[in-house]
Structure 1
Amino acid sequence: MKKILLTIMVLALAIVAAACGKEEGASGSSNDVKTVKVGVSSGDTRTWEYIVDLAKEEGLNIELVTFNDYIQPNLALSEGVAYFDEFVQDQNLKLEAIGSTVIAPMGLYSKKHKDLKDLPDGATIAVPNEATNFGRALLLLQEAGLITLKEEFNGSGSLEIIKENPKNLKIQPVAAGNTPRLLDDADASAINNNFAVEAGLTLKDSLFHESKTAKPYINIIAVKKGNADRPELQKLVELYQSKEVESFIEKTFKGNTIPAYVSVDELVNYQDAWTKPAKEK
């Protein structure tokens, strides 16, 4: 069976790869079943497995291939992509988004305070120290109305990029895996979703968390340019954004993963979120 390599990617997070073609019958003639081969990063694949079953009813066969990290799926297709937009530009890759999926929200958690407004002046806030997640944490604090970032903020975190800090918060960068442990010492900690889940935290425990307005971190489906209009790939997006899948995600993940179905235009303009405080959105 001849297949054309495509890709499905997750912006700034996981990445997957895909291939598609017609299913061949026993006699060698093609039938009406389209096959989309989807590579997904290892971890919780329950949503994709659910979509596989739904797709069969729509005449679409999805094959899942699991990768052990975020880079391998793109190595299989485009010789190395870690973060979609950054690497599309740096490597001059011909990829485009065709749909959004979910966001696994970063949250601001605290053992010392019950409400965001209870954070005192001079409060210590632990954040991940890796540049991208540092930036994500700063954007979270901006969305919460605690700080304002300079206009030149480009998603990469540093203390120098903070424009206004009216509560004089003390931002403490630490290894991302240590952010839950800092809850015993800091006033609050910005924690990536995976580490929060490992620590037994849910979004309901957070003082504040990202929503689908955090467009830079919404997972996306993307393909090689020129393939966006292929019916089987549009069907894949339609299935992922269906009410059935939305309900499945909400029931299965109990709010720790949020369906974030926004338009492709919103995805393309995700950088708007970097310079617009929550009150301006």
Structure 2
Amino acid sequence: MTGSTRARVARGAAAAGLAAAVLAACGSPSERAQEGTDAEGLTTLRIGATPMPHAEILEFVDENLAADAGLNLDVVVYTDYNQPNAALAEGELDVNYYQTAPFLDEYLEGNPDADLSYVSDVHLEAFGVYSQELTDLADLPEGGEVGVPNDTSNMGRALELLAAEDVITLADTGGSAPSVDDIEENPLDLTVTPVEAAQLPRSLQDLDAAVVNGNYALEADLPATANALAWEGTEDNQYANGLVVRSEDADAEDVVRLDELLHSDEVRRFMEERWEGIVLPVGGGASED
């Protein structure tokens, strides 16, 4: 994270207690754009994001593209998946950028009063199976232990990866995300242990292997410090990450501009060069050589 991001995060943290009242007074992003801008003529969007890659992508946009589009991005960094949707629903954020559409659907099922909408896919973070000791998935020991994320959508995604690699067989769930209770065949009699997603990299030393979200694998530098045993397929993958807003702001001009910037060739090249093979841009034009 750059110094300017840390500064904005610090300001955001200091103002957290006042954020709801301030935003209520200022109105929605589109209303603020109509009523006025900052001293530089920019509309500020307060965006919640997890640190990597989301906050880094937003920082790149803010430093290189946002001002020309009339935007200033105030990035508020969250270290888990539980807070940003609540903060958005309560008016503490204008946008968040950290989740998949299935994750949002799961959140809305449990929080029916939160009127949030998924804007569009921006990038895909490929899940990986990592191990500190093993170098081949075929070497998983009988009776071993494999960690998976404990939230519904990411657990299902992890189990589907293990099933695709013939480690387990899953029962037909009729399109619903599978859970550990849906493991139908387990030839190695593995213990599949749900762990809070952000804790999986730190838990890896106590596990034979773990299926880890791409962003948390990057934050923990697992591609360099652990062995990747398998990767999630990317074709027709439903688990891309994208922007989420309150439904009333889904077509707001400044949200549309931000979405366009995130799909620009400049951002696509940044993702491809910064996180080759792990963070994959979705949509937008082709990169230029």
Q: TM-score range by the shorter chain?
A: 0.5 to 0.7
Q: Are residue 161 (structure 1) and residue 182 (structure 2) matched?
A: yes
**Alpha carbons 2:148, 2:194 under 8 Å: kept:** yes
1:51: how far off?
1.1
C-alpha distance in 2 between matches for 1:231 and 1:248: 24
Per-residue CA distance 1:36-60 (angstroms, 9 max, x = gap): 4132235242210111231222x32
C-alpha distance in 2 between matches for 1:51 and 1:129: 30
1:78: how far off?
1.6
Partner residue in 1 for 2:18: none
138 and 71 in structure 1: CA distance in 2 versus 1, 3 angstrom threshold:
closer
C-alpha distance in 2 between matches for 1:67 and 1:89: 25
C-alpha distance in 1 between matches for 2:57 and 2:31: 19
Partner residue in 2 for 1:124: 144
1:62: how far off?
2.5
Q: Are residue 173 (structure 1) and residue 193 (structure 2) matched?
A: yes
C-alpha distance in 2 between matches for 1:190 and 1:71: 19
Structure 1 unaligned regions, length at least 5: 7-17, 263-281
Partner residue in 2 for 1:146: 167
179 and 60 in structure 1: CA distance in 2 versus 1, 3 angstrom threshold:
same
State the TM-score, normalized to the length of structure 2: 0.65
Aligned residues: 240
123 and 251 in structure 1: CA distance in 2 versus 1, 3 angstrom threshold:
farther
C-alpha distance in 2 between matches for 1:144 and 1:75: 35
1:25: how far off?
6.7
Partner residue in 2 for 1:278: none
Partner residue in 1 for 2:119: 98
1:99: how far off?
0.9
Which of residues 41, 46, 52 is equivalent to 2:49? Answer: 41
Partner residue in 2 for 1:51: 61
C-alpha distance in 2 between matches for 1:214 and 1:20: 37
Q: Are residue 190 (structure 1) and residue 211 (structure 2) matched?
A: yes
113 and 259 in structure 1: CA distance in 2 versus 1, 3 angstrom threshold:
same
50 and 20 in structure 1: CA distance in 2 versus 1, 3 angstrom threshold:
farther
C-alpha distance in 2 between matches for 1:86 and 1:19: 29
SS at match of 1:88: helix
Seq. identity, %: 25
Higher helix fraction (1 or 2): 2
C-alpha distance in 2 between matches for 1:119 and 1:208: 12
Structure 2 unaligned regions, length at least 5: 1-22, 285-289
Partner residue in 2 for 1:4: 27
Per-residue CA distance 1:79-105 (angstroms, 9 max, x = gap): 499952123233243222221122333
C-alpha distance in 2 between matches for 1:226 and 1:148: 42
Structure 1 letter corresponding to 2:242: I
87 and 149 in structure 1: CA distance in 2 versus 1, 3 angstrom threshold:
same
C-alpha distance in 1 between matches for 2:194 and 2:109: 29
The RMSD of aligned alpha carbons is: 3.9
